[in-house]
A and B are shown apart, each in its own frame.
Chain A
Amino acid sequence: MTLRPRPKSKLPGADSEPRGDRELVHAARAGDTIAFDNLFYRYRDGINRLAISITKDPSAAEEIVVDTFVRAHRAIARLEPDDSLRPWLYRVAINLSYNRQPRKGVTFSSLDDGVLDLPTEGESPSEAAERAERRRVVLECVEALGPKHRIVVVLCYLNGLNLAEIAEIVEVPVGTVKSRLHYALRTLRVRLSAHPGLDFEPAALFAAIERQMPPLKVHKGRAR
């Protein structure tokens, strides 16, 4: 198991657009289509990932992205200036995703459909296969969670939102979000322990940490 730093929420367009959400909303309300496009490109990928994680249908997720921003375009005149746009958009996307009926005859088994598990640099095919198997098991365990706990895990680990933002999206207190996240992680830990061959053990974790840490240089100081 390899450790990597927690990915921050990706905000495409944020680098090229210095204005914040509030300024962009004001500009879009005044009829600035470029500002609305910047908002779209800023939150497009996050909403797409969230919709895929719920519907497991990439094409449906794209439609949900479009529907979400169509609603935002209609409602942008009614949005309060102090309201944050991101929780509002994610809330609309979650509702659209849950209300969307699955297409007849089309089933998507897991979140990782369509994702190639090719070996990365310095990784053998067997290690790549083991990594793919680990990911499949983890995603199955996430899918087995209840909807309230699953959406908290997805918003936290997939979209990189903090607890306050998640609380605003799911419209519960922050303490409830903490409780749900804790319960979900504990359940995941128990379920992952049922797969001892996949290195879901703390010993493997610490071994990975030791492998990634640079070796300590011991300087022999002169004793005075």
Chain B
Amino acid sequence: MGVRLRKEPVLNSPVLIASWPGIGNIGVIAADALRKALEAEQLGEIEPWDFFYPKKILVRNGVLEGLEFPSNTFYFRKTEKVDLLFFIAEEQPTPVGGMYAEGKRAYQMANLVLDVALKFGCRRAYTSGAAVAPVHHTMKPRVWAVPNQSKLIDEVKGYPNTILMSDLEGRLGRGNITGLNGLLLGVARKRGLEAVCLMGEIPMYLQGLSVPYPKASHSVVEVLNAILGIDATSEDLVAAVERGEKRVEELYAKFSPEIREQLDKLRYVSYTRSTEPGPITEEDKRKILEELDKFFKGKED
């Protein structure tokens, strides 16, 4: 079990941006868009076979030529303002049927990523994922930020379009971040590395649809640009946002008028602590979720 590095670049206290797939693939899309916009170079990868089931067999002329595993790649980029390390994974190491990594393998993978980051003198790590929220898809997604040390809270409050868990109504600053995008924060804390998870909001009615939600990735990229003092906006991401919006509108049009009427209330609702109560009640929220559940179950049949 190990890491294969192809290069040994000299990096100046780099910042790590790591992401694994999750709901809406928000984090992975954001990290990959930044990686592409900055034309980061491949650095190496984690040997995949202890973590993943292969995804493809290659047989040529009756001989097993090889197996292809989900990619887990490190990249690096030196910029004028900051040196960056990326780790982007195609899958989370999960048992059969699972979506999120947990337990021993997840812990090992988080440590391997941090081994590489610390080897290059990393000073800060960012992960990214999804924040499932009662928001409407026409709204600009905000970014929920969770640091792994309390001394980072003031800094995080200065990030644009960003909220903390304590800003959320009824949360009292509590919550959880499932899978490796969360676990890396904890392992980084254990190893004394500052880390923040940036989660782009995804409407609650899209979370079960297995569709990417690049609109939230775009919000995460904007926040990362501001934090890092760079301007790395990928045209691919902008195009993906447009395609994503079209797809979501098509799905939305398939909801019954009653469901759409309920969901449209989300345009005016705010669930953050500081705002006035909106037109949507807890009862409305429950009803919406029940109706959506019924709707999607019917679709599966």
Are A and B associated in one complex? no
